[in-house]
Protein backbone atom coordinates (compact mmCIF):
# COMPACT_ATOMS: atom_id res chain seq x y z
CA UNK A 1 0.00 0.00 0.00
CA UNK A 2 1.39 3.45 -0.93
CA UNK A 3 2.06 6.08 1.72
CA UNK A 4 -0.65 8.31 0.28
CA UNK A 5 -3.22 5.52 0.27
CA UNK A 6 -2.24 4.64 3.86
CA UNK A 7 -2.83 8.31 4.74
CA UNK A 8 -6.28 8.09 3.22
CA UNK A 9 -7.08 4.94 5.17
CA UNK A 10 -6.15 6.67 8.44
CA UNK A 11 -8.28 9.69 7.53
CA UNK A 12 -11.29 7.44 6.92
CA UNK A 13 -10.76 5.81 10.31
CA UNK A 14 -11.16 9.20 11.96
CA UNK A 15 -14.57 9.92 10.41
CA UNK A 16 -16.70 12.02 12.77
CA UNK A 17 -19.94 13.64 11.67
CA UNK A 18 -18.73 17.06 12.88
CA UNK A 19 -15.61 16.92 10.70
CA UNK A 20 -17.04 15.42 7.49
CA UNK A 21 -16.38 18.50 5.28
CA UNK A 22 -12.74 18.59 6.43
CA UNK A 23 -12.33 14.86 5.83
CA UNK A 24 -13.93 15.17 2.39
CA UNK A 25 -11.49 17.92 1.40
CA UNK A 26 -8.55 15.83 2.60
CA UNK A 27 -9.76 12.78 0.67
CA UNK A 28 -9.71 14.75 -2.55
CA UNK A 29 -6.35 16.37 -1.87
CA UNK A 30 -4.95 12.84 -1.60
CA UNK A 31 -6.89 11.63 -4.66
CA UNK A 32 -5.41 14.51 -6.64
CA UNK A 33 -1.97 13.08 -5.91
CA UNK A 34 -2.94 9.42 -6.36
CA UNK A 35 -4.92 9.73 -9.57
CA UNK A 36 -7.55 7.17 -10.46
CA UNK A 37 -5.26 5.06 -12.69
CA UNK A 38 -3.26 4.21 -9.57
CA UNK A 39 -6.48 3.01 -7.90
CA UNK A 40 -7.70 0.90 -10.84
CA UNK A 41 -4.83 -1.27 -12.13
CA UNK A 42 -3.72 -1.02 -15.78
CA UNK A 43 -4.76 -4.62 -16.39
CA UNK A 44 -8.38 -3.44 -16.31
CA UNK A 45 -7.89 -0.92 -19.15
CA UNK A 46 -10.75 -1.64 -21.56
CA UNK A 47 -10.34 1.06 -24.21
CA UNK A 48 -8.19 4.02 -25.15
CA UNK A 49 -9.37 5.88 -28.22
CA UNK A 50 -9.72 9.22 -30.00
CA UNK A 51 -12.88 8.01 -31.75
CA UNK A 52 -16.05 9.03 -29.90
CA UNK A 53 -18.16 6.53 -31.88
CA UNK A 54 -15.93 3.68 -30.73
CA UNK A 55 -16.33 4.75 -27.09
CA UNK A 56 -20.10 5.00 -27.50
CA UNK A 57 -20.28 1.49 -28.95
CA UNK A 58 -18.16 -0.02 -26.17
CA UNK A 59 -20.09 1.47 -23.25
CA UNK A 60 -23.64 1.01 -24.60
CA UNK A 61 -23.90 -2.71 -23.94
CA UNK A 62 -25.57 -2.24 -20.53
CA UNK A 63 -27.19 1.17 -20.99
CA UNK A 64 -27.76 3.25 -24.15
CA UNK A 65 -25.34 6.17 -24.59
CA UNK A 66 -25.27 8.90 -27.21
CA UNK A 67 -22.02 10.86 -26.96
CA UNK A 68 -21.32 14.16 -28.72
CA UNK A 69 -18.18 16.30 -28.69
CA UNK A 70 -18.91 19.82 -27.44
CA UNK A 71 -15.59 21.26 -28.65
CA UNK A 72 -14.37 20.62 -32.19
CA UNK A 73 -11.14 22.52 -31.67
CA UNK A 74 -9.57 20.27 -29.03
CA UNK A 75 -7.86 16.92 -29.45
CA UNK A 76 -10.15 14.21 -28.12
CA UNK A 77 -8.79 11.22 -26.20
CA UNK A 78 -10.77 8.96 -23.89
CA UNK A 79 -9.60 6.19 -21.61
CA UNK A 80 -11.96 3.60 -20.16
CA UNK A 81 -11.19 1.02 -17.47
CA UNK A 82 -13.78 -1.57 -16.46
CA UNK A 83 -13.88 -4.11 -13.62
CA UNK A 84 -16.79 -6.62 -13.60
CA UNK A 85 -17.54 -8.11 -10.17
CA UNK A 86 -20.15 -10.46 -8.72
CA UNK A 87 -22.52 -7.80 -7.36
CA UNK A 88 -21.45 -4.67 -9.20
CA UNK A 89 -19.01 -3.28 -11.72
CA UNK A 90 -16.56 -0.39 -11.38
CA UNK A 91 -15.71 1.83 -14.33
CA UNK A 92 -13.37 4.76 -14.77
CA UNK A 93 -13.71 7.15 -17.71
CA UNK A 94 -11.49 10.09 -18.55
CA UNK A 95 -12.08 12.47 -21.46
CA UNK A 96 -9.70 15.16 -22.65
CA UNK A 97 -12.38 17.60 -23.78
CA UNK A 98 -16.01 18.50 -23.11
CA UNK A 99 -18.65 15.96 -24.16
CA UNK A 100 -22.41 15.52 -23.91
CA UNK A 101 -23.61 12.04 -22.93
CA UNK A 102 -27.32 11.28 -23.27
CA UNK A 103 -27.86 8.27 -21.03
CA UNK A 104 -30.78 5.97 -21.75
CA UNK A 105 -32.68 3.74 -19.35
CA UNK A 106 -30.87 1.03 -17.39
CA UNK A 107 -33.35 -1.50 -16.05
CA UNK A 108 -30.72 -3.81 -14.58
CA UNK A 109 -28.62 -1.55 -12.34
CA UNK A 110 -28.44 1.33 -9.87
CA UNK A 111 -25.56 3.60 -10.91
CA UNK A 112 -23.49 5.94 -8.74
CA UNK A 113 -21.46 8.55 -10.67
CA UNK A 114 -18.48 10.02 -8.76
CA UNK A 115 -16.47 12.97 -10.03
CA UNK A 116 -12.73 12.70 -9.49
CA UNK A 117 -11.55 15.65 -11.61
CA UNK A 118 -13.42 18.37 -13.45
CA UNK A 119 -17.07 19.40 -13.47
CA UNK A 120 -20.25 18.27 -15.19
CA UNK A 121 -23.85 19.40 -15.50
CA UNK A 122 -26.63 16.84 -15.24
CA UNK A 123 -30.26 17.07 -16.26
CA UNK A 124 -32.61 14.32 -15.07
CA UNK A 125 -36.22 15.03 -15.93
CA UNK A 126 -36.91 18.54 -14.62
CA UNK A 127 -34.02 18.42 -12.14
CA UNK A 128 -30.64 20.04 -12.85
CA UNK A 129 -27.48 19.41 -10.83
CA UNK A 130 -23.85 20.50 -10.89
CA UNK A 131 -21.68 17.39 -10.49
CA UNK A 132 -18.29 17.88 -8.85
CA UNK A 133 -16.09 16.43 -6.13
CA UNK A 134 -18.71 17.59 -3.63
CA UNK A 135 -21.76 16.32 -5.54
CA UNK A 136 -22.29 12.88 -7.08
CA UNK A 137 -25.30 11.39 -8.87
CA UNK A 138 -27.34 8.25 -8.22
CA UNK A 139 -29.36 6.85 -11.14
CA UNK A 140 -32.12 4.36 -10.39
CA UNK A 141 -33.50 1.86 -12.92
CA UNK A 142 -35.93 3.43 -15.39
CA UNK A 143 -34.32 6.87 -15.30
CA UNK A 144 -32.65 8.78 -18.13
CA UNK A 145 -30.17 11.63 -17.83
CA UNK A 146 -28.08 14.06 -19.86
CA UNK A 147 -24.56 14.75 -18.58
CA UNK A 148 -22.34 17.50 -20.04
CA UNK A 149 -18.71 17.55 -18.93
CA UNK A 150 -16.59 20.69 -18.90
CA UNK A 151 -13.12 20.24 -20.38
CA UNK A 152 -10.91 17.47 -19.02
CA UNK A 153 -13.03 15.16 -16.89
CA UNK A 154 -12.48 12.00 -14.86
CA UNK A 155 -15.19 10.01 -13.16
CA UNK A 156 -15.91 6.69 -11.50
CA UNK A 157 -19.09 4.74 -12.16
CA UNK A 158 -20.34 2.14 -9.65
CA UNK A 159 -23.01 -0.02 -11.29
CA UNK A 160 -24.87 -2.14 -8.69
CA UNK A 161 -26.97 -5.04 -9.88
CA UNK A 162 -30.65 -4.25 -9.40
CA UNK A 163 -31.59 -7.64 -7.94
CA UNK A 164 -28.68 -7.53 -5.47
CA UNK A 165 -29.62 -4.10 -4.10
CA UNK A 166 -33.31 -4.97 -3.85
CA UNK A 167 -32.53 -8.22 -2.01
CA UNK A 168 -30.38 -6.30 0.47
CA UNK A 169 -33.08 -3.66 0.91
CA UNK A 170 -35.69 -6.37 1.57
CA UNK A 171 -33.37 -7.83 4.20
CA UNK A 172 -33.07 -4.40 5.81
CA UNK A 173 -36.84 -3.92 5.77
CA UNK A 174 -37.71 -7.41 6.92
CA UNK A 175 -40.26 -7.67 4.09
CA UNK A 176 -40.81 -7.54 0.36
CA UNK A 177 -40.38 -4.42 -1.79
CA UNK A 178 -43.65 -3.67 -3.60
CA UNK A 179 -42.82 -0.50 -5.59
CA UNK A 180 -39.76 0.32 -7.69
CA UNK A 181 -36.83 1.60 -5.61
CA UNK A 182 -35.83 5.18 -6.36
CA UNK A 183 -32.93 7.01 -4.72
CA UNK A 184 -32.60 10.78 -4.44
CA UNK A 185 -30.56 11.59 -7.55
CA UNK A 186 -28.20 14.06 -5.86
CA UNK A 187 -25.63 12.68 -3.42
CA UNK A 188 -23.80 15.24 -1.25
CA UNK A 189 -20.28 13.87 -0.89
CA UNK A 190 -19.59 15.95 2.23
CA UNK A 191 -22.25 14.04 4.21
CA UNK A 192 -21.90 10.72 5.99
CA UNK A 193 -23.49 8.95 3.00
CA UNK A 194 -20.97 10.52 0.61
CA UNK A 195 -17.98 9.77 2.82
CA UNK A 196 -19.11 6.15 3.13
CA UNK A 197 -19.42 5.81 -0.64
CA UNK A 198 -15.84 7.04 -1.10
CA UNK A 199 -14.59 4.87 1.75
CA UNK A 200 -16.17 1.73 0.29
CA UNK A 201 -15.08 2.57 -3.26
CA UNK A 202 -11.46 3.13 -2.27
CA UNK A 203 -11.42 -0.03 -0.14
CA UNK A 204 -12.66 -2.03 -3.13
CA UNK A 205 -10.07 -0.42 -5.43
CA UNK A 206 -7.29 -1.36 -3.00
CA UNK A 207 -8.45 -5.00 -3.06
CA UNK A 208 -8.45 -4.95 -6.87
CA UNK A 209 -4.89 -3.61 -6.85
CA UNK A 210 -3.80 -6.56 -4.71
CA UNK A 211 -5.63 -9.04 -6.95
CA UNK A 212 -8.53 -11.37 -6.16
CA UNK A 213 -6.63 -14.65 -6.58
CA UNK A 214 -7.21 -16.42 -3.26
CA UNK A 215 -10.32 -17.37 -1.26
CA UNK A 216 -9.33 -14.76 1.31
CA UNK A 217 -9.15 -11.96 -1.28
CA UNK A 218 -12.43 -13.14 -2.79
CA UNK A 219 -14.02 -12.87 0.68
CA UNK A 220 -12.59 -9.39 1.04
CA UNK A 221 -13.99 -8.31 -2.35
CA UNK A 222 -17.41 -9.74 -1.51
CA UNK A 223 -17.36 -8.03 1.89
CA UNK A 224 -16.49 -4.68 0.33
CA UNK A 225 -19.30 -4.96 -2.22
CA UNK A 226 -21.91 -5.95 0.34
CA UNK A 227 -20.81 -3.16 2.69
CA UNK A 228 -21.05 -0.57 -0.08
CA UNK A 229 -24.58 -1.64 -0.99
CA UNK A 230 -25.69 -1.83 2.65
CA UNK A 231 -24.24 1.63 3.42
CA UNK A 232 -25.88 3.19 0.36
CA UNK A 233 -29.27 1.79 1.41
CA UNK A 234 -28.77 2.86 5.02
CA UNK A 235 -27.25 6.34 4.45
CA UNK A 236 -28.66 7.77 1.20
CA UNK A 237 -32.32 8.74 0.97
CA UNK A 238 -34.74 6.66 -1.14
CA UNK A 239 -38.47 6.00 -1.21
CA UNK A 240 -38.19 3.28 1.49
CA UNK A 241 -36.06 5.29 3.93
CA UNK A 242 -38.98 6.17 6.21
CA UNK A 243 -40.04 2.53 6.49
CA UNK A 244 -36.45 1.47 7.24
CA UNK A 245 -36.14 3.92 10.11
CA UNK A 246 -39.13 2.61 12.03
CA UNK A 247 -37.77 0.98 15.16
CA UNK A 248 -39.44 -1.79 17.14
CA UNK A 249 -37.98 -4.03 19.83
CA UNK A 250 -36.46 -7.37 18.89
CA UNK A 251 -36.74 -10.15 21.45
CA UNK A 252 -33.64 -11.40 23.29
CA UNK A 253 -33.89 -14.66 21.34
CA UNK A 254 -33.53 -12.74 18.05
CA UNK A 255 -30.41 -10.99 19.32
CA UNK A 256 -29.04 -14.39 20.41
CA UNK A 257 -29.91 -15.86 16.98
CA UNK A 258 -27.89 -13.14 15.24
CA UNK A 259 -25.01 -13.60 17.70
CA UNK A 260 -24.96 -17.38 17.26
CA UNK A 261 -25.07 -17.08 13.48
CA UNK A 262 -22.12 -14.68 13.51
CA UNK A 263 -20.13 -17.03 15.75
CA UNK A 264 -20.86 -19.95 13.42
CA UNK A 265 -20.11 -18.09 10.16
CA UNK A 266 -17.42 -15.44 10.81
CA UNK A 267 -15.61 -16.17 7.53
CA UNK A 268 -18.67 -15.46 5.37
CA UNK A 269 -19.31 -12.04 3.73
CA UNK A 270 -22.20 -11.05 6.01
CA UNK A 271 -24.12 -7.78 5.82
CA UNK A 272 -26.52 -6.19 8.26
CA UNK A 273 -29.31 -7.12 5.87
CA UNK A 274 -28.28 -10.79 5.99
CA UNK A 275 -28.48 -10.83 9.79
CA UNK A 276 -31.83 -9.03 9.78
CA UNK A 277 -33.21 -11.61 7.35
CA UNK A 278 -31.99 -14.48 9.54
CA UNK A 279 -33.64 -13.05 12.66
CA UNK A 280 -36.87 -12.01 10.95
CA UNK A 281 -36.78 -8.32 11.92
CA UNK A 282 -35.76 -5.12 10.13
CA UNK A 283 -32.12 -4.05 10.10
CA UNK A 284 -32.91 -0.95 12.17
CA UNK A 285 -34.73 -3.02 14.78
CA UNK A 286 -31.92 -5.55 15.01
CA UNK A 287 -29.29 -2.83 15.28
CA UNK A 288 -31.23 -1.01 18.01
CA UNK A 289 -31.86 -4.16 20.07
CA UNK A 290 -28.35 -5.53 19.58
CA UNK A 291 -26.88 -2.29 20.94
CA UNK A 292 -29.31 -2.41 23.83
CA UNK A 293 -28.42 -6.01 24.80
CA UNK A 294 -24.75 -6.23 23.73
CA UNK A 295 -23.52 -2.63 23.82
CA UNK A 296 -22.43 -2.70 20.18
CA UNK A 297 -23.89 -3.07 16.69
CA UNK A 298 -24.12 -6.49 14.96
CA UNK A 299 -21.35 -5.53 12.52
CA UNK A 300 -19.08 -4.41 15.37
CA UNK A 301 -19.73 -7.77 17.01
CA UNK A 302 -18.80 -9.53 13.74
CA UNK A 303 -15.54 -7.58 13.62
CA UNK A 304 -14.79 -8.49 17.25
CA UNK A 305 -15.33 -12.20 16.50
CA UNK A 306 -13.08 -11.98 13.44
CA UNK A 307 -10.37 -10.25 15.49
CA UNK A 308 -10.58 -13.09 18.01
CA UNK A 309 -10.22 -15.61 15.18
CA UNK A 310 -7.07 -13.85 13.98
CA UNK A 311 -5.72 -13.84 17.53
CA UNK A 312 -6.37 -17.57 17.92
CA UNK A 313 -4.71 -18.37 14.58
CA UNK A 314 -1.63 -16.30 15.44
CA UNK A 315 -1.31 -17.87 18.87
CA UNK A 316 -2.23 -21.51 18.22
CA UNK A 317 -2.30 -22.35 14.50
CA UNK A 318 1.12 -23.61 13.43
CA UNK A 319 0.13 -23.30 9.77
CA UNK A 320 -0.26 -19.52 10.04
CA UNK A 321 3.11 -18.07 9.05
CA UNK A 322 2.47 -14.30 8.82
CA UNK A 323 0.19 -11.67 10.30
CA UNK A 324 -0.95 -10.61 6.81
CA UNK A 325 -1.99 -14.18 6.05
CA UNK A 326 -4.09 -14.44 9.21
CA UNK A 327 -5.68 -11.01 8.68
CA UNK A 328 -6.64 -11.76 5.07
CA UNK A 329 -8.11 -15.13 6.06
CA UNK A 330 -10.67 -13.37 8.27
CA UNK A 331 -11.53 -10.51 5.92
CA UNK A 332 -9.19 -7.74 7.10
CA UNK A 333 -7.72 -6.21 3.95
CA UNK A 334 -6.58 -2.81 5.28
CA UNK A 335 -3.59 -3.71 7.42
CA UNK A 336 -3.30 -0.36 9.22
CA UNK A 337 -6.95 -0.36 10.26
CA UNK A 338 -6.76 -4.03 11.28
CA UNK A 339 -3.58 -3.56 13.36
CA UNK A 340 -5.09 -0.61 15.26
CA UNK A 341 -8.31 -2.52 16.02
CA UNK A 342 -6.37 -5.64 17.02
CA UNK A 343 -4.09 -3.75 19.41
CA UNK A 344 -7.06 -1.99 21.00
CA UNK A 345 -8.86 -5.29 21.60
CA UNK A 346 -5.94 -7.52 22.64
CA UNK A 347 -3.52 -5.06 24.21
CA UNK A 348 -0.65 -6.06 21.91
CA UNK A 349 0.21 -5.90 18.23
CA UNK A 350 -0.49 -8.89 15.96
CA UNK A 351 3.27 -9.35 15.51
CA UNK A 352 3.74 -9.61 19.28
CA UNK A 353 1.08 -12.33 19.44
CA UNK A 354 2.81 -14.25 16.66
CA UNK A 355 6.17 -13.95 18.43
CA UNK A 356 4.63 -15.31 21.64
CA UNK A 357 3.41 -18.40 19.77
CA UNK A 358 6.85 -19.00 18.29
CA UNK A 359 8.37 -18.67 21.75
CA UNK A 360 5.91 -21.16 23.24
CA UNK A 361 6.29 -23.63 20.36
Residue 76 DSSP label:
-
What is the arithmetic mean of pLDDT over 248-270? 85
Quickly list DSSP for 80-97.
Answer: EEEEE-SSEEEEEEEESS
Whether 192 contacts 264, CB under 8 Å: no
Going by pLDDT thresholds of 50, 70 and 90, the confidence category of residue 31 is low
Position with higher pLDDT, 5 vs 290: 290
Whether 58 contacts 47, CB under 8 Å: yes
pLDDT at 1: 42
- CA dist., res. 279 & res. 273, Å (int): 10
pLDDT at 316: 86
Condensed to tens digits (0 to 9), the pLDDT of residues 88-119 reads 999 999 999 999 999 999 889 999 999 989 99
Whether 41 contacts 208, CB under 8 Å: yes
Q: Is the pLDDT of residue 283 over 80?
A: yes
Residue range(s) in the chain whose domain bears CATH number 2.60.120.10: 3-215
Whether 90 contacts 40, CB under 8 Å: yes
- CA dist., res. 287 & res. 250, Å (int): 9
Going by pLDDT thresholds of 50, 70 and 90, the confidence category of residue 209 is confident
- CA dist., res. 20 & res. 207, Å (int): 25
Whether 99 contacts 121, CB under 8 Å: no
What is the arithmetic mean of pLDDT over 258-275? 89
Architecture of domain 3-215: Sandwich (2.60)
Residue range(s) in the chain whose domain bears CATH number 1.10.10.60: 216-360
What is the arithmetic mean of pLDDT over 324-352? 87
Q: Is the pLDDT of residue 348 over 80?
A: yes
User: Picking from 60-64, 166-170, 282-286, 356-360, which range would have the lowest pLDDT averaged per residue?
Assistant: 356-360
Q: Is the pLDDT of residue 325 over 60?
A: yes
Q: What is the CATH number of domain 216-360?
A: 1.10.10.60
Q: Which pTM was predicted? A: 0.74
Comparing C-alpha atoms, which of 52, 101, 54 is closest to residue 72? 52
Condensed to tens digits (0 to 9), the pLDDT of residues 212-225 reads 777 777 778 888 89
Whether 147 contacts 124, CB under 8 Å: no
Q: How far is CA 64 from CA 55, 58, 89, 158, 257, in A?
A: 12, 10, 17, 16, 45
- CA dist., res. 258 & res. 277, Å (int): 10
Bridge pairing between strands 186-188 and 127-131: unpaired
pLDDT at 248: 66
Q: How many residues does the chain have?
A: 361
Whether 91 contacts 157, CB under 8 Å: yes
Q: How far is CA 106 from CA 62, 159, 222, 242, 265, in A?
A: 7, 10, 23, 25, 35
Condensed to tens digits (0 to 9), the pLDDT of residues 229-247 reads 999 998 899 999 888 877 6
Amino acid sequence: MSIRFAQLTVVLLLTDIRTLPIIHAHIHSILKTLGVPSLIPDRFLYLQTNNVDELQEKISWSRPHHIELLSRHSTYVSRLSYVPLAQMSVGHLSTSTAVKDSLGVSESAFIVLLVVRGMAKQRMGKTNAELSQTTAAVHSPGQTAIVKTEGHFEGLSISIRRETLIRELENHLGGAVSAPVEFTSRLDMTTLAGIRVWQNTLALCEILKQGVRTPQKLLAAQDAQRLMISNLIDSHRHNYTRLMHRVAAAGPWQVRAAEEFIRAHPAEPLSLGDLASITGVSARTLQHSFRQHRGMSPMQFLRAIRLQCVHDDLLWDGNTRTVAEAAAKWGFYHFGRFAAAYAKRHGETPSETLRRRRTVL
